[in-house]
Amino acid sequence: MDLTPLIVSFIFYGVPIAFILWFMISVISALREKNKLLREIIKKLEK
């Protein structure tokens, strides 16, 4: 049983999918942090 095609297919399909998921999660967390800071600024301006 040769595992080379399995490893190659994992590299070509699994790694980009993992990278895209990581990128999406990091972008979403950055946007949440930005929204949190903007809410704090709005609260300070309303006082």
Token readout for 12 is 């070509």
Long-range CB contacts for residues 1-10, cutoff 8 Å, separation at least 24: none
Helices (H), 1-47: 4-9, 15-46
pTM of the model: 0.69
User: What is the rounded distance in angstroms from the CA atom of residue 34 to the CA atom of residue 10?
Assistant: 35
The pLDDT tens digits for 1-47 are 788 999 999 899 999 999 999 999 999 999 999 999 999 999 999 98
Distances (CA, A) of 6 to 19, 27, 40: 19, 31, 50
